[in-house]
Amino acid sequence: MQQRVLDYVLVPAGLLVMVAYHLWLLYRILTQPNSTVIGINSINRRFWVHAMMELVGRLVFKV
């Protein structure tokens, strides 16, 4: 019986912690994207796409 009571407490607590973390992370991404890995990767991806498109433009016009 003790195991069930522990499960009834710890499983919802773990889910609550996980949901709270994801809400906090979403808030950080929306308000301060430079302070998260997701935001930094997004910025670097934009620079990379811009560089690749510039390179493709040079290759197309050389031919």
> Over its length of 63 residues, how does the chain's per-residue pLDDT go in tens digits?
688 889 999 999 999 999 999 999 999 989 998 999 998 999 999 999 999 888 777 776 665
Number of domains in the chain: 1
DSSP-derived letter for residue 33 is G
DSSP-derived letter for residue 36 is S
Q: Which domain holds residue 56?
A: 2-62
pTM: 0.65
CA 49, 51, 54, 56 torsion-angle sign: negative
